[in-house]
Amino acid sequence: MKNRDIGGVPVSAIGLGGMPMSIEGRPDEARSIRTIHAALDAGVTLIDTADAYHIHADEVGHNESLIAKALASYGGDTSQVIVATKGGHLRPGDGSWTVDGSPEHLREAVDASLKRLGVDAIGLYQFHRPDPRVPYADSVGVLAELLDAGKIRLAGISNANPDQIREANEVLDGRLASVQNQFSPAFRGSEAELNACAALGIAFLPWSPLGGISRAGELGERFAPFEAVAKAHGVSPQRVCLAWMLAKAPVVIPIPGASRPESIVDSIAATDLVLTDDEYAALDAANVRP
């Protein structure tokens, strides 16, 4: 497995997104644990989660608990695995998503995540989504507190714009380690954020890199160049997509969601797929089909 860097810590160039294993349509626990174990077997050392990855209001942190159970039951060494979790986004249990970026909530959320993950310090903790009712610096300021207190080892933000990236890095005194934004062939709106991270040397973690849970399987059908390059290499369009992202900048670390061992194993193989300049240009110019 090839490595990249988050805040000076080497991690696998492809991470595992845990969200599909805990929200609507999730598989049974046994399959989810097999998926996590398959990722670990293949060399994944970055697993992304959040306390909001659950369905019902009484199961906050379902995905964090699942990942903790999978790591505890794994037969190999997990000492180098970074679990990246997030706080500040909530699911009341009615299918909706809300936000709470108040310092009080974030302090409570990180303590709860620490307990569920069963660790003394969280590898990477990210402010999940800006709360328009709370000054951004106040929310990010909690991350600085947590770093200084040793409750988290690395700090990141998610769903941020370039101004917020710069503000967060200032509030954290240059210690902003990662930005997790939506980015895929179908959603290119975070290109400016990716470029900002590349300029600052901050890891950029694309979420839903294959287009989302319901549409990842259609990637080749929706984007003809990805299908064409996939056929030329004898691989899946999804693998081509992740290789294209990796080629964008050394700071890019995709975190494709998976709920089947076969999916994450195929995604990880993207680290060995080398695109030509012409292929990269064709993929970069790809337009979605109706």
Question: Using CB atoms within 10 A of its CB, is residue 22 exposed (0-12), middle (13-18) or buried (19+)?
Answer: buried
Distance, C-alpha 212 to centroid of its chain: 12
Tokens of 196: 């900002």
Cα–Cα dist 273/277, whole Å: 13
Marked catalytic residue, from 53, 74, 136, 280:
53
Residue 125 among the catalytic residues: no
Tokens of 246: 């990796």
Cα–Cα dist 254/268, whole Å: 10
Half-sphere exposure of 206 (CA within 13 A, CB side): 33
The answer to whether the Cα torsion of 198, 13, 121, 65 is positive or negative is positive
Which residues form the catalytic set?
53
